Structure 1
């Protein structure tokens, strides 16, 4: 009997070990398949990042548009969400909003996929009709000798718990942030990078489930403890009523010394304290691999995975995003903000469609060639601008058009540089 019991125990132990080995192998297999799927899904990650377009946004100093316009802008951008059933097979589009500060210069940028540029421009113009949006080259705040301090931020508690928004703040949140950024000195720079991506409804469902559970517990005398007050439930309910975005917040500072960079970073983080509410706030993430973080920052990569014990993104609704990023109005008196000094206007309808080509008119995504007719050229024309703005280059291009068209041209140049440029481009057919 004892031998039979020992034999049965041995068989059970071997079965348990075999089952454990099978479970481990299956888990490893599933894990490897998931990693392989992610590698395939994001195989064109770098190529797609390099196809993004950087747009600079500027508004007039007398801008009176309030922050709620930005809330409407973000809400409309939720339309980028890909709801097709096969959407999980490809990365969801994301957009980067950035505030960039250098010495005596604070600018606002948005980086978008090339195919979404027109759509995003229209949404921004819808919120800020007087804004000037133009495509620019990539900026850089880094230098070879500079030291870098950085930190990513996420919400401290569950995504459905709200932070303070512009509706709760006594002053424009941008005033505090830009006041810190305005202190950059020569060789220093700072970037607040906010990546957004339309979120699915899971966070909203979790919020509704939390509210339902609390109300159900409070209705039961045995479970009621009233640890969550009615005000908190109302604030959660208000947040989940708005569209939500997976959001990544990164702050990067560069300076001549590590201590100075850390000090600027600490001051910027202090300006984010204004967003702390009784329910939620931002917290720092410890990012041990600086190289990986800087690659993600420079390429504006959105995190591939977002695991609960190492959260890299949060869900913010349109109100919260508008509080974090919006264009300044006249109430923001911070120095060194890049304001729009002259508004752009569309080209008039009644202009020549042929003649001497002056350039392209670009207005809100519409390009139109601008010509000056022969009759207009018989009148006086002045080219006015500061030194180095391209007056001579423009005249040279106009002269070369006439030369290439076989027309007679007379050029009087008191300095000789313009003549030298023209002669170096003289076609063989007109050399004599």
Structure 2
């Protein structure tokens, strides 16, 4: 938002608002396109590395006769719901869901993967609950990569802080949603109407920077510029995805909804890449008037529940996206994560309920949530 717009309309802020609905907002599995999969991960996995392997295996680009990308979008989601951190993937079709089930089972051995059938395909929002939300986008144009495990390696899995920040009151809900759509192999070639290619950007960085207005001159490229140019160039030929990232917090406590949305969005700043000076910037869903703010938040909720795709011109390589969308391992210390603790297979019967199937020794600890899910409450 420009400075003039901020003066006239105010700056976007986290201002939790009720949706002005008479009945609970409910999304049932049969009412959404595609298939929602629940994942109960086994603690012992390679986290981000396994996530990269999974994304590579589902990078299926389809195009029409004109060469336009017609690939389906899918999503990876983390929910704090009913007092637990849970993991989901949404597949746009039955065929994609079957592939995801097999690929998750391959890359995250001993994890359970099963379709959500019955119950809810999105956390229920009551009329008297407050909602706060945001979407994330890159601070710079595409091709400047964010931090990932092969570039400025993380000291710890960023999901440790993200999931910890998601923990809230047991009757509150917090959702992070990453919608991803495979990009064509030519994604680094640029668009003459929007931005240059990776080669053009890297070349410009090596040429130095024009400084001064009355007496312009070229400042020679610094070592950081040269390093950034090399990092940008290395993306050529890599698989990538177009990406949307959304955040939602719901609570009967207005301050809690605002704090969770703001806090979770803030944790995504850990992906800032100091070499390319690229990071993720959050924009709250906001309007200065309450009625319009409620409508905008309702639209944000609906887009998340429908797993809607919007082109925000944000592209991430497999390595970048894996850092943002992956199943963590027991290196993170967040409590209340819905882990699987035994090493038996990767599937459960298709007629299992929405929540935990009683296949593990620890499943009794979530019996209340399971009963609520099976009763469709």
Output the TM-score relative to the length of structure 1.
0.62
The equivalent of 1:169 in structure 2 is 154
Deviation of 1:319 after TM superposition, in Å, equals 0.6
Deviation of 1:276 after TM superposition, in Å, equals 1.1
SS of 1:82's partner is coil
Deviation of 1:223 after TM superposition, in Å, equals 5.3
The equivalent of 1:207 in structure 2 is 198
The equivalent of 1:55 in structure 2 is 37
Count how many residue pairs are aligned between Structure 1 and Structure 2.
294
Change (3 A) 1:268 1:341: same
The equivalent of 2:116 in structure 1 is 136
SS of 2:54's partner is helix
The equivalent of 2:80 in structure 1 is 101
Q: 1: distance between equivalents of 2:305 and 2:45?
A: 33
Q: Is residue 159–residue 203 contact of structure 1 (8 Å, CA) maintained in 2?
A: no
Q: 2: distance between equivalents of 1:292 and 1:66?
A: 33
Q: Is residue 110–residue 346 contact of structure 2 (8 Å, CA) maintained in 1?
A: no
Q: Is residue 211–residue 233 contact of structure 1 (8 Å, CA) maintained in 2?
A: yes
Of 280, 283, 295, 1:282 maps to 280
Of 222, 225, 228, 2:220 maps to 225
Q: 2: distance between equivalents of 1:87 and 1:142?
A: 41
Q: 2: distance between equivalents of 1:147 and 1:200?
A: 40
Choose 1 or 2 for highest CA Rg.
1
Q: Is residue 63–residue 71 contact of structure 2 (8 Å, CA) maintained in 1?
A: no
Deviations 1:390-419 (A, max 9, x none): xxxxxxxxxxxxxxxxxxxxxxxxxxxxxx
Of 55, 73, 94, 1:114 maps to 94
The equivalent of 1:72 in structure 2 is 53
Deviation of 1:196 after TM superposition, in Å, equals 0.2
Deviations 1:11-59 (A, max 9, x none): xxxxxxxxxxxxxxxxxxxxxxxxxxxxxxxxxxxxx982311111112
Deviation of 1:246 after TM superposition, in Å, equals 0.4
Q: 2: distance between equivalents of 1:141 and 1:324?
A: 25
Q: 2: distance between equivalents of 1:49 and 1:74?
A: 26
Q: Which has the higher contact order (CA 8 A, sep 6+)?
A: 2
SS of 1:72's partner is helix
Q: 2: distance between equivalents of 1:346 and 1:339?
A: 13
2:181 counterpart of 1:197: yes
SS of 1:239's partner is coil
Q: Is residue 103–residue 185 contact of structure 1 (8 Å, CA) maintained in 2?
A: no
Of 254, 263, 266, 1:267 maps to 263
Deviation of 1:77 after TM superposition, in Å, equals 1.7
Q: 1: distance between equivalents of 2:349 and 2:283?
A: 46
Change (3 A) 1:260 1:115: same
SS of 2:234's partner is helix
The equivalent of 2:303 in structure 1 is 296
Deviations 1:295-354 (A, max 9, x none): 211111101xx4xxxxx341011111111121121212211000113444499xxxxxxx
Q: Alignment RMSD, CA only?
A: 2.9
Change (3 A) 1:346 1:136: closer
Deviations 1:376-401 (A, max 9, x none): xxxxxxxxx98xx9xxxxxxxxxxxx
> 1:7-406 counterparts in 2 under 5 A?
50-61=32-43, 63-78=44-59, 80-86=60-66, 88=68, 91-112=70-91, 113-137=93-117, 138-167=121-150, 168-182=153-167, 184-201=168-185, 203-205=187-189, 206-215=197-206, 225-226=220-221, 229-278=225-274, 279-285=277-283, 287=285, 289-303=296-310, 306=311, 312-345=312-345
